[in-house]
Amino acid sequence: MTLGLGGTNGYSAAAPSEASTSNGASTTAAQSDFGTCTSPSAPAKSHSPSPNLKRSRSASVTMDPDLPPAPKIDGEAMLEVFVHRSMKFSGAPLNGDSPYGDGQRLQVLGDKVLEAAYTDVLFYKRPMLKADDLKQQVETQLQKDVESWVSGYRWRDKVRHTSSVDLSSPEETRILFNSYVGAVFVGGGYKAVRDWIGALVDPQAQPAAQSGLSPEPENKRVKVEPMGMGMGFVQPQASYWGQPPQPSMYGQPPPPPPPASAPPPLPMFNPLAPAQPHSAFLPLFNQTAQQRRLEVQYPAQFSGPAHAGRWTVLCLVNGIEKGQGTGPSKQLAKEEAARQAYHAMGWAPRE
């Protein structure tokens, strides 16, 4: 089975690496340090003459060995990141079947996530930075670091763009890095971004889970220290689940609290119900897999005529097929593949 990347979302030449254009048709391929991804051949509706289409220097794209490997993103995200917006048709609509929409959405998301992760890493750096120093480093040093990282990863050499674009400008450099950060966040969550940025800023930095960001246990309760309230009373103790605090009279110790028990479970989404077009099954599966530190991929293939074709999407967990879905849209096929994988992994509740 040949696995495609889905639609190119209105790009006139969607390829982050080598591309050939002839008589209005183009065959594109994406090759980088992150793997090889092939997009379906489609007639190119270029709005610019071929000489205006440009790819950055064809020099070696070997990354700086001192940098940690960038987190992997799927082929569809690579097209959004490494095909410049100048290659996109004017007024092209957002791709509703894509989790990304377009590269500009990834850039906006990545800008905020990058600043948060960068600040997070500096916050836990030792010796501690004062608040003013912390703010100043985020405002001044972050852009310098982004320039260094983009150059070190040789990402400019992978970008497909028109000749009028200067990828070396600070603005384009930041947009490129932000877009990649946004794709990592969508695919792997905040922890994937934070661990990566932490390794870039300070290789000795603790992962997010070790720096105070792990969730507290569900049955953890706040301890209330007794405080004098005048003769004859002791401050009421913290209440247990559903039990109101009981004051005790002076000289009489309070009765021992009953054993703590877990709160009643919250109602959960029923994974046994059939998947609906707007169901939350896909996010549920991805969240569960992320909590269990499993890698999930959704390779997709489109078959049939453009106006009446069907998508086939596989759900791979650590490289092993666990589900397969088909549908008129890529999103519906992914929902079905995730539903099958959820049952195959044994995560569905048993009746």
Residue 45 has pLDDT above 90, yes or no: no
Alpha carbon distance 191, 195 (integer Å): 6
CATH code linked to domain 19-210: 1.10.1520.10
Tokens 């051949």, residue? 41
Neighbours of 270 (CB within 10 A): 8
User: Boundaries of CATH 1.10.1520.10 in the chain?
Assistant: 19-210
Whole-number Å distance between alpha carbons of 300 and 313: 4
pTM over 0.95: no
Cα separation of 38 and 76, whole Å? 10
Q: What is the pLDDT of residues 325-336, one digit of tens each?
A: 998 888 888 889
Lowest mean pLDDT, pick from 181-185, 287-291, 306-310: 306-310
Q: How far apart are CA 203 and CA 69, in angstroms?
A: 12
Residue 5 has pLDDT above 70, yes or no: no
Residues of CATH 3.30.160.20 domain(s) within the chain? 281-344
- What class has domain 281-344? alpha beta
pLDDT in tens, 91-121: 778 878 788 888 899 999 999 999 999 999 9
- Tokens for 193, please give them: 């971004």
